[in-house]
Amino acid sequence: MTVAALADIFKQNESAILEQWIEIQRQAGIRSDLIDDRTMVDNSRDLLKAFIRAVTESGDDLNQPGWAPVKSLLERLSQAQSRQGFTPTETATFILSLKEPVFALLREANGELITASQLIDKLGLYSMERFLAGREVVIREQQESMLELSTPVVQLWKGVLAVPLIGSLDSNRTQVVMEALLQKIVETESDIAIIDITGVPTVDTMVAQHLLKTITAAKLMGARCIISGIRPQIAATIVHLGVELGDVVTKASLSDAFQLALKELNVRLVSANPR
């Protein structure tokens, strides 16, 4: 049995297939909270129409240009579903449930099942691929926004910036921190930047090196950096690793560092109610 014969059978029975397909999808249970019945019916009709046209024009090779409308339709549906929170099974079921009406039809016509099965499998695989690609896009977006969220640069005083670092540092993140800090230094014309590493769980040679790079870059621009919040274990690790911090000023806590910064800016705080 050729693909052309298959196409003929599909074309003649389009409405019957569609009806059964929709019925099966309803039985499988549609996510009424995410998609309404009408949208599902519309999607099914559009896809089936495009599918039959593609089989008629371009045979069973999905790389043919005739399949492009089906692919783009599937891509749109799968990515939308991955964003809306459908499970992979639900997305796959959409295409795979087409098998049942098609097979029933072919059995009546004594047609060959294997070609049709392979064709639908290919479509199923394609829709899964797109579904996962949609997921990956979401994950990547979240990663980026996390990266930006997790590296705030705050101004403590006119001329004093602070970067409270929380969580583990890798080269990617340090790069973001470095750029954000330097940019903020230019914007606010700050003389002193405090890098607080209270929330950094471990410091290894790489992290120390990244920190030193940031500090050197800030120094080149004319700002001084103070590191604060080095915990006892981390201090021990730094010495143990033999990391040379050079002439970098370190303070025990953010408040100590802030005091030093104010002193260097010649700012003196006095109590409002002198006794």
CB nearer to other proteins: give 223 or 238. 223
Q: Residue 117, Cα to own-chain centre: how many angstroms? A: 34
CB nearer to other proteins: give 92 or 212. 212
CB of 221 to other proteins, least distance (A): 5
Work out whether 213 is an interface residue with other proteins (CB under 8 A).
yes
CB nearer to other proteins: give 162 or 185. 185
The label of the residue with tokens 């599918």 reads 51
Question: CA-CA distance, 56 to 7, in Å (whole number)?
Answer: 5
Scanning 44-52, 161-169, 180-188, 264-272 for contacts with other proteins by CB under 8 A, the matching segment is 180-188
Question: CA-CA distance, 169 to 134, in Å (whole number)?
Answer: 28
Which of residues 72, 168, 216, 253 is near other proteins by CB under 8 A?
Answer: 216
Work out whether 207 is an interface residue with other proteins (CB under 8 A).
no
| x-marked contacts with other proteins along 187-206 as a string, rule CB under 8 A | --xxx---------------
Q: Which run of H or of E encompasses 185?
A: helix 171-188
CB nearer to other proteins: give 18 or 181. 181
Question: CA-CA distance, 182 to 214, in Å (whole number)?
Answer: 8
Question: CA-CA distance, 32 to 148, in Å (whole number)?
Answer: 36
Neighbour-count burial of 56, counting CB atoms closer than 10 A to its CB (0-12 exposed, 13-18 middle, 19+ buried):
middle
Chain residues in the site for other proteins (CB under 8 A): 178-179, 182-183, 185-186, 189-191, 213, 216-223
